[in-house]
Amino acid sequence: PCLTEAHYKEMEEKVSSTLSGLEGELKGTYFPLLGMTKDVQQKLIDDHFLFKEGDRFLQAANACRYWPAGRGIYHNDKKTFLVWVNEEDHLRIISMQMGGDLGQVYRRLVSAVNDIEKRVPFSHHDRLGFLTFCPTNLGTTIRASVHIKLPKLAANREKLEEVAGRYSLQVRGTRGEHT
C-alpha cells in the first residue's frame, strides 16, 4: 500500500525532532519544503543540496504523492552534512565536502548514522540488509559519489563513458541519476 499524507508528515516529525538533537559538527537546522520560499528552495537546488520533485521514474512508482507535504532538508552550519527527508527514501543521509579528505567525509557519515539510528531505527532484513524504496540500494545502502570536472574528457561523451566503464564507474550529470 502507498503512504498517506499523514504517514509522510509523521515521518517528517520523527526525523526533524531527531535531527534537532544532533550536536557538535552535526548541529544544524531543518527546513520543511512545505512553506519554503521559492528563492530559498531554488538556491538549495542550485547548490546541489536540495532535491526536486521526483523524476518520471519516481512519479510512476507513486513516490511523489502529496508533494511537498512531509518533505524537507536538514543541514549543518557548514553544509557538509545533509539529510533529505522523504525524497525517494525516508532518509538520505549525505556527508560531503570540498577537497580530498574522504576519511573525514566517511567518519562524519558514520557518526551521523549512529546518532540517528539510536533515535529512529532503520528497517533491516536478515537476507536483504537495510531496506530502501529502490531495490538497487538494498544492503548497506551506501553509495559513494565524487564530483570532478574533466572538461577535456567530458567534451567527448563516448570516450568518457568508455574510460568510466573500464573502472566500473557511472557517469552522471550534476543532478544525479538520469541526468
The total of other beta-carbon atoms located within 10 Å of residue 8's CB is 20
> Cβ-count burial of 7 within 10 angstroms (0-12 exposed, 13-18 middle, 19+ buried)?
middle
How far is it, in rounded angstroms, from Cα 64 to Cα 58? 7
18 assigned binding-site residue:
no
Q: Which amino acid is at 24?
A: G
Is 173 annotated as ligand-binding? yes
Name 47's Cβ contacts closer than 8 Å, sequence gap at least 6: 79
125 is known to lie in a ligand binding site: no
According to the annotation, is 171 in a ligand binding site?
no
Q: What is the rounded distance in angstroms from the CA atom of residue 11 to the CA atom of residue 99?
A: 34
146 labelled as ligand-binding?
yes
The answer to whether the annotation marks 107 as part of a ligand binding site is no
- 124 labelled binding-site residue: no
Q: Is 175 annotated as a binding residue?
A: yes
The answer to whether the bond into 135 is cis (omega within 30° of 0) is: no
Ligand-binding site membership of 65 (annotated): no
Q: Judge whether 164 is annotated as a binding position.
A: no
Annotated binding site for ATP: 48, 92, 143-147, 172-177
Annotated binding site: 48, 92, 143-147, 172-177
